[in-house]
Structure 1
Amino acid sequence: MAQVQGFGEENTSELEDMSLYVGINYQSISITMTILSCLGAIIEASVSVSAGIWTLMDKKIDNRIHIGAYGRQVGSQMIGTAFNTLFFGFFGGSLALFIWFVKLNYSLGQFINNKIFAAEVLVTMLSAIGVILVIPVTIKVFKFVARKKSSGQ
């Protein structure tokens, strides 16, 4: 696991007078933040694919082959917009950090190895992986629903 929890060098001047022994598990907080950040992108992708497939099912097309093909088509279109959202969210949220690092004359190595930057990249990558994985799962769920619906259960 990446060691991105806790404080970076940039926080030292603010933390010098404070006690760091507050009994908080920063790794748990970091994991929770990562999960919550990823859930938004994953839910958005799943709802978008679900809405497209649901529209197809409302048209009384219960053929699971059609549902799978249509779901893959909607999913592939959704991945492009989800990646744009994740990229601009990452860039917009980190713009002040980028400017700060430039003003501090950080080298590329310091920039990439910074805990704050690494945590943001990690969240963005995990969100992208989650979006890619949730689309086939959503399609499989709808195929299952279509099968149950067509068998009258």
Structure 2
Amino acid sequence: MNVLLLLALILFILMALVGGKKGIKSFIALFLNFLVLIVTVLIMNDPNTNPVLLTLVACVFIGAISLFYINDINNKTTLAFIATIFTTLLLLLFIFFITEKSMIYGFSEEESDGLTIFSVYIGIDFVKIAASGIIMGTIGAIVDTAISITSPMREIHQHNPGITRKDLFMSGIRIGRDILNTSSNTLFFAFFGGYLGLLIWFKDLEYSFGEIVNSKVLNGELISILTAGMGVAIVIPIASAITAHHLVGIKDKKK
């Protein structure tokens, strides 16, 4: 049996045993999101397509699959979805600006050796491609944080329906503070684990510390991680405010 199929089967069994029906739906959602990414990349090959707008559309589908397909359509998933889209739009201008000013777009020196036989004049704006990559890298962390805020806030409101909007909002902020630390560490160690080979290569090539810090390939990934961390930090107050306003607003209308 192919190793990938074996690992996928083991993951499916574990998710089914631990998560039950929701675990199975989460496993299916992984492949649905993967298909969205593949379709996005294929369409992005068309020079007439705007990669940033296409990526935003893909993020909408990814957010909808991750939230509505797995957890059904309810107030906590709807609020998390709204917070995710709003946060992504806020980050968009900053991502585009920092991508252009930092010049992390295009191929790095380490990647250029293997591309010398190919033409890089493919009619695609590499600034938009780099910005799209960063946006796609942030959406998962933002969705995860958003639902981690709205879900416990809804539970708090259900068990304490008399809570004020301000107290409910502050509860969301306190929950978010705990999530922020673990999410930041997750992003950092995911980068370090994924690029451990690159760091060892830098050492074998006897790169100085300055050369490592200023390398395009390293800076591109660090900017992506830092931007994802910013997205996680921004979505916490946004999700808390939207959820507190909605839940307490429902209570006020019923009076």
Place the TM-score, normalised by the shorter chain, in its bin. over 0.9
Query: Does the 8 Å contact 2:154/2:247 carry over to 1?
Result: no
Work out which of the residue numbers 182, 187, 201 in structure 2 matches 1:86.
187
> In structure 2, what is the Cα distance between the partners aligned to 1:12 and 1:122?
20
Among 187, 191, 214, which residue is 1:113 paired with? 214
Give the CA RMSD over aligned residues: 1.4
Which of 22, 35, 52 is the matching residue for 2:152? 52
Do 2:149 and 2:175's aligned partners in 1 also have CA atoms closer than 8 Å?
yes
Q: Is the 8 A contact 1:38 1:127 kept in 2?
A: yes
Structure 1 counterpart of 2:246, from 145, 148, 151: 145
Pair 1:67-2:168 in alignment: yes
Provide Cα deviations, 1:69-120, integer angstroms capped at 9, x if missing partner.
Answer: 2112111111111111111111112111111111111111110111110001
CA offset digits 1:38-63 (Å, max 9, x no partner): 11111111111111101112214242
Structure 1 residue aligned with 2:225: 124
Q: Which has the higher contact order (CA 8 A, sep 6+)?
A: 1
Please, which runs of 5 or more residues in structure 1 have no aligned partner? none
**2:71: which partner in 1?**
none
CA contact (8 A) 1:63 1:146 kept: no
> Aligned partners of 2:151, 2:244: CA distance in 1, in Å?
14
TM-score after normalising by structure 1: 0.93
Residues of 2 paired with 1:79 and 1:137: CA distance? 14
> Which structure has the highest helix share of the two?
2
Match of 1:32 among 121, 132, 154: 132
For 1:15, the equivalent position in structure 2 comes to 115
Deviates more, 1:76-85 or 1:59-68: 59-68
Q: Deviation string for 1:103-139 (max 9, x for gaps)?
A: 1111111101111100011011111111111101111
CA contact (8 A) 1:50 1:138 kept: yes
Pairing partner for 1:5 from 87, 90, 105: 105
Q: Determine helix, strand or coil for the equivalent of 2:243.
A: helix
Whether the 8 Å contact between 1:4 and 1:116 is mirrored in structure 2 is yes
Rounded Cα–Cα distance in structure 2 between residues aligned with 1:7 and 1:65: 48
Cα offset, 1:147, TM superposition: 3.0
Aligned residue-pair number? 153
